[in-house]
Structure 1
């Protein structure tokens, strides 16, 4: 097992680069990338870093030269032969050859496109522009770099024994959470913690701890690199990025209203089984389900990623019943700001009514809250989103207005088109 504290104490970035592979990313990014490669190959998209926690002054904490060095290193990466073989030949979600030969040929030759970095006060402006299926692969590594460099800025002030104690306390915290999760019967939980992790080495440790501590209740990791190296399932389906860009490409309000369903129609042609998971909250869960075509009710389940999770799950249960489906045969994946108490509460509420699963993210792979002075290692809310497509702004409404994004006038237009009225604001944990 890696001695993380010693590696942190001794680290030089060329030995421990923050991102060490193009598949050090979430599985759903690769699934979406293949779909975009096939269906929207000419779409031009801009991704941008958004720090929702602006009290964290990233540009004061992180040296610009070091940030550029890490980003330039990512641009030098390409698939190794072993990684390509794993993607081409492995079984994912029970399906062999998940990734098509033409996609793999393109991916094997890929180097990530240029980035634009500029300091704006105490924050960084970091953007990526180009073909959608190329720039989208910057999202996860860019977030991982910013999160880890912020952590390194704090850790660099600590002595060797202090680091040993810090990581011992953090490991104890993770294991105590695992011990609590063991008490939940028929638990199903996966690691979704790549994008806002403390570090690659820490995420890898957390995944191994979950694997040993939870056994079959731990279903896998979203991180492809870790899934490959630890011989476990790669977990993931799709994200808000797809409907946001499809919607931005819509020529009129009628096409806009149809865009979220066009996304899933394209997905339906490519995937089946447990990959048919609806993410309904981009423009409001209730409105999306109320207007959904009947064929979507036959999909395997939904992912709840914003707003009140109890309310969203109940809306889905009522919708399935109204469409003649048996909710007990459907899966609900909760993935928003989860920790042990929330998972226990949701499992008790919905076990037996639906198949309950959890995608556990930041509070698995980056919970150092209260372990250093001034809580300087506490996780914070950093995202990298598609903000424009073919020159048009993207919009996200969410079930939580605190997660909404886009120009104010476009947000209001989208609310009218998708009939979104009052929304209940909730604190964004991570």
Structure 2
């Protein structure tokens, strides 16, 4: 990957189709872990996932060619898991566990393909892109859909640039990243991983970033969330679970208030029944961190750690540490996975704040794989940040119904929680979904 001339490749785009998604493993590892649980416990639950653009000033349907988008989506649908990929998944050790993916699940993956999509253009200059079907079939569309939209927008911006402008762009971006790596080298101890797949500038650029981190940080770079890059670079695949699970189960609860309140904790019970050890990392913020902790079962305090994903790292970490202490647990024996909007300044500050008080691991996303700010000789629209996001629509109630977050009044901290204004809606053709929005950060 490091030997690829990124500027020349961007300039020479003359082939019929340069695939953005090259493999079904070009996804986040937590999607596969969650998929195995979904397939085993909830595979037939009907869902609809919708790609949305919350940056309404960017008229995505006017920036991205619809024919190109369809070609990329169709190519992604043509992909299958290869024998090599399935053997690697089945025989590798993840988080210290051999054969974490069961033979029957891998046999199902061997015949898997992404389901069909529904694409149209709205009068507001935005695409309407939806994926409907069983939860097990639809969930893997999340990462490819976001990657395709974001990279097509990046490619359009790059087409406006000359050969030497592209060379300068990538040279500056490489220098910028390496200067960040040099700062991170000063932090000891450090555990850092790449979390930048869905927000990346492009697959090849993400690959360069991963190789740079591997060489520049050595053992402090503990892996990547991108399964394909983990396999190709002999790295640990990183990731546990996401907001999708509790939001789906909350939507499935319908009007049952007790089931709705219990949904986030039922997810944890299902998770610990499927996985254990190093994979026991809790995500507390789907409907509000403090409310989640107030009702959390005592056994959760014995899990390895938490990923406070919707609060500033120091603020979110302190809330979790206070909760551990209230349960009589020593935070120094627990792990905080910090990954919300981080760049080097934030990593340095959180590292200094928590050093010696709790173990930390940092997931570096957008500001790793899509930081081209001030790198272009003449800034081209679309070179700086991604815009697309995903929300899940849920059925089981009246159309146009309230969000699950609204129904869990008192179980949601306003402002930064991932439900935001999207949430999982009752109304629509399925049961459940996801509300992880990619915003400019």
What is the TM-score of this pair, normalised by structure 2?
A: 0.90
Residue 376 (structure 1) aligns with: 382
8 A Cα contact 2:310 2:416, kept in partner: no
Residue 200 (structure 1) aligns with: 203
8 A Cα contact 2:63 2:156, kept in partner: yes
Task: Describe the SS at the equivalent of 1:268.
Answer: helix
Tell which deviates more after alignment, 9-18 or 319-328: 9-18
8 A Cα contact 1:52 1:383, kept in partner: yes
* Residue 17 (1) aligns with residue 23 (2): no
Residue 64 (structure 1) aligns with: 66
User: Aligned partners of 2:91, 2:72: CA distance in 1, in Å?
Assistant: 30
Task: Describe the SS at the equivalent of 1:415.
Answer: coil
1:390-429 alignment to 2 at 5 Å? 408=402, 410-416=404-410, 429=440
User: Aligned partners of 1:82, 1:421: CA distance in 2, in Å?
Assistant: 44
1:305 to partner: Cα distance: 1.1
1:412 to partner: Cα distance: 2.9
* Residue 303 (1) aligns with residue 307 (2): yes
Q: Deviations over 1:305-340 (max 9, x none)?
A: 112332221111111111111111111011111100
Residue 74 (structure 1) aligns with: 76
Cα distance, 1:24–1:281 mapped onto 2, change above 3 Å:
same
Residue 322 (structure 1) aligns with: 326
User: Aligned partners of 1:260, 1:176: CA distance in 2, in Å?
Assistant: 40
1:142-181 alignment to 2 at 5 Å? 142-181=145-184
8 A Cα contact 1:369 1:375, kept in partner: no
User: Aligned partners of 1:332, 1:421: CA distance in 2, in Å?
Assistant: 22
Q: Deviations over 1:201-249 (max 9, x none)?
A: 0000000000000001100000000000111100000000000000000
Cα distance, 1:407–1:332 mapped onto 2, change above 3 Å:
farther
8 A Cα contact 1:245 1:389, kept in partner: no
* Residue 211 (1) aligns with residue 211 (2): no
User: Aligned partners of 2:16, 2:140: CA distance in 1, in Å?
Assistant: 22
The alignment's C-alpha RMSD in Å is 2.2
Gaps of at least 5 residues in structure 1 are 394-405
User: Aligned partners of 2:330, 2:167: CA distance in 1, in Å?
Assistant: 51
Residue 89 (structure 1) aligns with: 91
Tell which deviates more after alignment, 1-10 or 213-222: 1-10
Cα distance, 1:288–1:168 mapped onto 2, change above 3 Å:
same
Tell which deviates more after alignment, 222-231 or 47-56: 47-56
Cα distance, 1:44–1:422 mapped onto 2, change above 3 Å:
closer
Residue 402 (structure 1) aligns with: none
Cα distance, 1:320–1:371 mapped onto 2, change above 3 Å:
same
1:81 to partner: Cα distance: 1.1
User: Aligned partners of 1:422, 1:6: CA distance in 2, in Å?
Assistant: 40
User: Aligned partners of 1:137, 1:110: CA distance in 2, in Å?
Assistant: 10
Residue 184 (structure 1) aligns with: 187
Q: Deviations over 1:67-89 (max 9, x none)?
A: 00000000000011111110111
1:6 to partner: Cα distance: 1.2
* Residue 141 (1) aligns with residue 141 (2): no
Tell which deviates more after alignment, 179-188 or 4-13: 4-13
Cα distance, 1:9–1:152 mapped onto 2, change above 3 Å:
same
Q: Deviations over 1:343-399 (max 9, x none)?
A: 111111111111111110011001011223255311134221322255688xxxxxx
1:335-346 alignment to 2 at 5 Å? 335-346=339-350
1:254-265 alignment to 2 at 5 Å? 254-265=258-269
Residue 112 (structure 2) aligns with: 110
Residue 290 (structure 2) aligns with: 286
Q: Deviations over 1:44-81 (max 9, x none)?
A: 11111121222222111110000000000000000111
